Amino acid sequence: MKIYSYNVNGIRAAMRKGLSDWLQASNADVLLIQETKAQADQIEEQVFSDMGYHTYWHSAEKKGYSGVGILCKQEPDHVEIGCGIDYIDFEGRIIRADFGDLSIMSVYIPSGSSGDARQDVKMTFLNDFQNYIQELLKERPKLIIGGDFNICHTEIDIHNPKSNKNTSGFLPEEREWLSGFLKLGFTDSFRLYHEGEADHYSWWSYRANARNNNKGWRIDYNMASEALREQLEDAKIWPDAKHSDHCPISLDIS
């Protein structure tokens, strides 16, 4: 099974830039989408169904904001919309599909870059999300969480760690949270196959020609729970896909 995660930064804009052609070529079994910035009735679902995908969306209450989705070739046994925490579900940040004993979640963790108030929301989200996942693992131990975490974990995950040490997305408390999250029993699948390798990023600012100069951040992850460790086969980042300020990341499992 090939699982992709992609923050599309507006699915309608990404479609105009050739997202559907990329998806056709990728042959993804599952595509986890973040930041749809659309209500379900604003998305060209027929394009995806013509390619053989079942589509599921969790949009924010606020139009043109946030939103996550799952596209999958196999119909899930169950789809869980949201997590039951009102302020999180109001922003459309979590959706999960279950296939037998395997669960695959798309998550879009808030950014704190717009100011202190949103940074506080982000830190509250991180705590509540971790508690939610701890409980979910008891019921669904085979769990993949793919999405935009809005956190670089280590210095090799960001192009300039020294100048960004006080920047949201690379704050010590955020990085510490991510370390703790991995200790719940998750593998950062990309690092499993690319340990110690620098200059691999999944997001670039639109400013200062950052993408062409590869001055980016690795903030998108496919996390796999310990119960799936033996089934992991490969993980990659696809920087040549340019439908967004992010690029897709993939995880192959047996």
What pLDDT, on a 0 to 100 scale, did the predictor assign at position 35? Answer: 98
- The 2-7 sheet, strands edge to edge: 54-58, 68-72, 30-34, 2-7, 249-253, 232-237
pTM: 0.98
Q: How far is CA 107 from the centre of its chain?
A: 5
What pLDDT, on a 0 to 100 scale, did the predictor assign at position 194? Answer: 98
Mark whether 148 is an active-site residue: yes
Amino acid present at 241: A
What pLDDT, on a 0 to 100 scale, did the predictor assign at position 19? Answer: 98
What pLDDT, on a 0 to 100 scale, did the predictor assign at position 111? Answer: 97
What pLDDT, on a 0 to 100 scale, did the predictor assign at position 215? Answer: 97
The catalytic position among 4, 6, 56, 108 is 108
The catalytic position among 4, 6, 148, 157 is 148
Mark whether 108 is an active-site residue: yes
What pLDDT, on a 0 to 100 scale, did the predictor assign at position 157? Answer: 98
d(CA 22, CA 243): 9
What pLDDT, on a 0 to 100 scale, did the predictor assign at position 219? Answer: 98
What pLDDT, on a 0 to 100 scale, did the predictor assign at position 171? Answer: 98
What pLDDT, on a 0 to 100 scale, did the predictor assign at position 21? Answer: 98
> In degrees rounded to 5, what are phi and psi of residue 205?
-65, 150
Domains of the chain: 2-253 (3.60.10.10)
d(CA 56, CA 106): 11
- Which bin fits 96, alpha (ψ -120 to 50), beta or left (φ > 0)? beta
The stretches in the chain having pLDDT less than 70 are none
What pLDDT, on a 0 to 100 scale, did the predictor assign at position 195? Answer: 97
What pLDDT, on a 0 to 100 scale, did the predictor assign at position 28? Answer: 98
Summarised one tens digit per residue, pLDDT across range 163-222 is: 999 999 999 999 999 999 999 999 999 999 999 999 999 999 999 999 999 999 999 999
What pLDDT, on a 0 to 100 scale, did the predictor assign at position 242? Answer: 97
In angstroms, the Cα distances linking 254 to 3, 91, 185 are: 11, 33, 19
Written as six digits, the tokens of 110 are 């808030």
With b for 16 or more beta-carbon neighbours within 10 A and e for fewer, the 152-178 pattern comes to: bbbebbbbeeeebeebbbbbeebbebb
- The 102-108 sheet, strands edge to edge: 78-81, 94-99, 102-108, 142-148, 220-225, 186-188
